[in-house]
């Protein structure tokens, strides 16, 4: 494999939810790999706060833009601004997401449940739609959709996170369907599960009931034992966005702990 600094040289990457957590690490990794990056977030203040971090990377241009992924007009404007600045979009990462409150389904206010679906699933549709409209005329591009807990068959069910789990399962299925629809093109439409990583979503969850709080008390142990370094997910996203996935579409890429790494972690905690 080529050195990371050359993997995405000269390409244009749009990353939603790019001002914190895994989105920030993906944006930084793609910039370090040579891509010109468009960092998007719901709040312009968040974009401005991290803009300088990217603008200091040699040979990389950066554009910051505020966009609420639940609003199609915002996402359409994000795509238009990216094209106006760089002339094209080569990579689009649908990362923006929320976990919602931690509770059994009957204890979650319906508007809060709907908000998770609109952000995670509808937001992914909006980003994919805009990316497709830009990439199809050029017959090339990479769309990467972030999935998480419970998204694939056989995964542990994300109890107390019914909206999040349902939205991410929907994102995975949506990714597979769109990939099948455009299988005859040179587009790669892929899903990424970065593993359990320490972000605001996992370290500052909002529990609505005592039962949910009791379940969350085990979260630190779970993250320490089974959590994945956030840098590994970002590095995998760079590989997915590179020519390494040319001709591949509809695939789920997952960061997984090796058996030896897991055993060492378990032994350290005894």
Six token digits for residue 64 = 């910051």
Active site residue 164: yes
Handedness of CA 217, 219, 225, 230 (dihedral sign): negative
Q: What are phi and psi of 19, to 5 degrees?
A: -105, 0
B/e letters for 226-252, b = 16+ CB within 10 Å, e = fewer, are ebbbbebbbbbbbbbbbeebeeebbee
Task: Please report, to the nearest 10 degrees, the dihedral formed by the alpha carbons of residues 14, 175, 254, 16 taken in order.
Answer: 20
Q: Is 250 left (phi over 0), alpha (psi -120 to 50) or beta?
A: left
Element (H, E) at 55: helix 44-55
Residues 72, 129, 164, 182: which is the catalytic one? 164
Count of Cβ atoms closer than 10 Å to residue 54 Cβ: 23
Q: Which residue has the tokens 């099948």?
A: 180
Q: What stretch of H or E contains 41?
A: strand 36-41
Distance between the two ends of the chain, CA-based, in angstroms?
A: 38
Up-side HSE of residue 144: CA atoms within 13 Å toward CB? 31
Rounded CA separation 131/240 (Å): 16
Q: Which pair of tokens denotes residue 121?
A: 């699933």
Active site residues: 164
């Amino acid at each position: 494999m080529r050195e990371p600094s050359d993997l995405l040289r000269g390409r244009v990457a749009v990353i939603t939810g790019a001002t914190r957590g895994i989105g920030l690490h993906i944006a930084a990794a793609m910039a370090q790999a040579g891509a010109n990056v468009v960092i998007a977030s719901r709040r312009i203040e968040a974009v401005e706060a991290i803009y300088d971090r990217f603008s200091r990377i040699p040979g990389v241009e950066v554009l910051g833009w505020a966009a609420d992924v639940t609003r199609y007009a915002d996402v359409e404007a994000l795509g238009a601004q990216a094209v106006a600045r760089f002339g094209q979009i080569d990579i689009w990462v649908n990362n923006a997401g929320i976990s919602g409150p931690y509770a059994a389904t009957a204890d979650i206010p319906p508007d809060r449940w709907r908000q998770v679906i609109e952000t995670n699933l509808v937001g992914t549709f909006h980003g994919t739609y805009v990316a497709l409209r830009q990439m199809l005329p050029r017959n090339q591009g990479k769309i990467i959709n972030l999935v998480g807990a419970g998204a694939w068959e056989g995964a542990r069910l994300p109890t107390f996170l019914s909206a999040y789990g349902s939205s991410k399962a929907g994102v995975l299925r949506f990714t597979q369907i769109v990939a099948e629809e455009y299988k005859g093109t040179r587009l790669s439409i892929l899903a990424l599960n970065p593993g359990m990583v320490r972000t605001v979503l996992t370290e500052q969850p909002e529990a609505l009931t005592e039962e949910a709080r009791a379940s969350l008390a085990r979260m630190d142990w779970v993250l320490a034992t089974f959590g994945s370094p956030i840098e590994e997910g970002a590095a995998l996203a760079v590989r997915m966005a590179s020519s390494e996935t040319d001709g591949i579409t509809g695939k789920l890429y997952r960061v997984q702990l090796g058996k030896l790494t897991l055993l060492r972690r378990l032994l350290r905690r005894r």
